[in-house]
Amino acid sequence: MKVAISGAGIAGPTLAYWLRRSGHEPCLIERSPQLRTGGYVIDFWGVGYDIAERMGLAAQLDAAGYKIGEVRLVDARGRWVGGFPTGGFRRVLGGRFTSLPRGELAAMLYATVADDVETVFGDSITAIHPDDSGVQVDLLSGQSRRFDLLIGAGGLHSPVRRLAFGPDTQFERDLGYRVAAFEALGYRPRDELVYVSYGLPGRMASRFTMRDDRTMFLFICTSEKMNGADPPGADAVKAVLHNVFGDAGWECPQILEALDRAEDVYFDRVSQIRMDRWSNGRVMLIGDAAAAVSLLAGEGTGLAMLEAYLLAGELHRAGSDFHAAFDRYRRMLRPFIERKQRAAQRFASAFAPRTRPGVWARNRMSRVLSQPHIGDWLIQRQLRDDFPLPHYVF
């Protein structure tokens, strides 16, 4: 089948890889003029790691990833107030745990299909015309293309979801937080392989050192701190972050100075997507477009890869009966995804507490992970994926 995939981030290239392996003709359509970079550092493990290994990416993951040694929570003077060593994560997960920039993983995945899958950069789908034998898509550039299936993999703000299912407000569940990230060159101090985080009620600023003298910064704050609508562009985002973190302690003043020099700033809502159905005729949604678990779940990237792999596998197994493939895919995946979404909701208040007692309790509780037996039990309970990954013969 000819399959249009809207979005060339994580889910899109992964799906294209497995569809190509099974003899289909995928076409990636990406709104950005080139592959997107930037974003934030993600932790990568579980089913996503399994699928990356099946794609032959284990060595690249090991080379590109960072083996973080410690998560360190500090106060306004930079003094240690909580945190834990991360060795327990690798111990519990058999060494199959790494951290890397989301953009680098996306580039790694896209490289697996760049030479043999058509990619349309700098264009987006503006209209969908399905019929009994296929689906025609109209593009912003004025072109019209015809495919057998259309897969929306365009993330939290998927244009395909809006066109095929309705406005975002029907499906987006705002968890009440906003996130921003940027990189800086030559920032000091550097704490190698340590994720350093400073928390105030409703606010958190973190940094992580990277290769080539780069540092990644992450801001999280409650939506109430924004005092209005989400900022429309990079300059507005910078102004809002100055307003929210301008009176904070620790290194926030110099981090904000580095922010002012940054050319690219990532900003988004921390939201989930909840839908009763993921398909509409020949249109299917995957990844964050269908069921975003939110940044706070810590595993959205791996889940997007899982969804892509399962969808390709079920389409291969079902032959031309895409309705049967969509139905089996939904029945396999929905209970697992819903559990992940519920867990992320519960975790939100612990990740960025809204009150001073909440910050204190979070800092104290983080120390429990330093205790080998209790820490390992908690890590295994939270991070082990209870999903039996099928082996498809492509």
Handedness of CA 356, 246, 251, 43 (dihedral sign): positive
Given pLDDT bands bounded at 50, 70 and 90, which one contains residue 119? Answer: very high
Give the confidence band of 354 by pLDDT, cuts at 50, 70, 90. confident
Q: Name the strands in the sheet holding 2-6, side by side, starting at the edge strand that comes first in the sequence.
A: 118-121, 25-30, 2-6, 149-152, 283-285, 279-280
Rounded-to-integer distance, Cα 14 and Cα 151, Å: 12
Provide DSSP, 135-165.
EEEEETTS-EEEESEEEE---TT-HHHHHHH
List, in sequence order, every residue forming a beta bridge with 173; answer none if it has no partner.
272
pLDDT of res. 347: 73
State mean pLDDT over 144-168: 95
Interatomic CA distance for residues 7 and 11, integer angstroms: 8
Lowest mean pLDDT among 27-41, 89-103, 374-388: 374-388
What pLDDT is stored for residue 383 in this prediction? 62
Whether 380 shows a pLDDT value over 70: the answer reads: no
pLDDT at 104 over 70: yes
What six digits make up the tokens of 311?
């969808």
Q: Which two tokens stand for residue 218?
A: 């992450």
pLDDT at 98 over 80: yes
Q: Which of the 8 DSSP states describes residue 225? A: G
- Taking only the tens place, the pLDDT of each residue in 272-294 is 999 999 999 999 999 999 999 88
Question: What pLDDT does 351 receive?
Answer: 73
Tally of residues, the chain: 394
User: Beta strands 266-273 and 214-222: pairing type?
Assistant: unpaired
Question: What are the extents of the domains in the chain?
Answer: 2-67+99-171+272-349
Query: Is the full-model pTM beyond 0.75?
Result: yes
Structure-derived torsion over alpha carbons of residues 123, 124, 130, 134, reported in degrees to the nearest 10: 40
- Give pLDDT, residue 93: 77
In order of 109, 187, 219, 338, the CA distances from 180 in angstroms are 24, 18, 5, 26
Closest CA to 290 of 275, 301, 309, 300: 275
CATH of 2-67+99-171+272-349, one of 2.70.150.10, 1.10.510.10, 3.40.1190.20, 3.50.50.60: 3.50.50.60
Above pLDDT 90, what percent of the chain?
A: 65
What number is the average pLDDT over the span 107-124?
96
List strands edge to edge, sheet with 125-131: 125-131, 134-139, 144-147
Average pLDDT value over all residues in the chain? 90
Give the residue with greater pLDDT, 380 vs 88.
Answer: 88
